[in-house]
Structure 1
């Protein structure tokens, strides 16, 4: 990931909302998110920032900010071939996932 990336390096992002599967915990979600960071996302050169946020009513969002929308989409596709990322995805209630991609305009 880009260290101390400036705002000017942000070009796009992935924003995915979801709920956890029954019986899954926020603690486990955070553990696996940190593992995904250290074992997978830290190797993505144009990924600027990745984080989780919690909303209301059990909704979470996974946010990845990259140098471009295309890079955000590319990194998202790579999750499907990474064992740690797949383990993380198993925590999610699949029907609840809403993934969108965004391009910075100003």
Structure 2
């Protein structure tokens, strides 16, 4: 998990739910998530929060909080061009991915 600065600075977020591909373990996901944070997300100077969550029935969620929704969206686009982030994405059952973006209104 990454936490930088104050939650008061959060203006937007990305929330994505997904399932793992068959044969991929939660430990596989955790290892790559830690690499993504260390090698990619830690370089995003305005990133406020990144967290990986587990829900019921094998559903996971990835949460990114940023100063604005547009910045959260930009971070997500950058995943497609980063080698380690791309590795992380190969663990996901792509048909299960549900990604949404949010703006704080109050």
Structure 2 distance, partners of 1:28, 1:37, is 14
Q: How does 1:14-93 map to 2 (within 5 A)?
A: 14-93=14-93
For structure 1, the 5+ residue unaligned runs are none
Structure 2 distance, partners of 1:85, 1:15, is 16
Output the aligned Cα RMSD: 1.1
Normalising by structure 2, what TM-score? 0.96
Moved beyond 2 Å, runs of 4+: none
Normalising by structure 1, what TM-score? 0.96
For structure 2, the 5+ residue unaligned runs are none
Length, aligned pairs only? 105
Structure 2 distance, partners of 1:9, 1:23, is 39
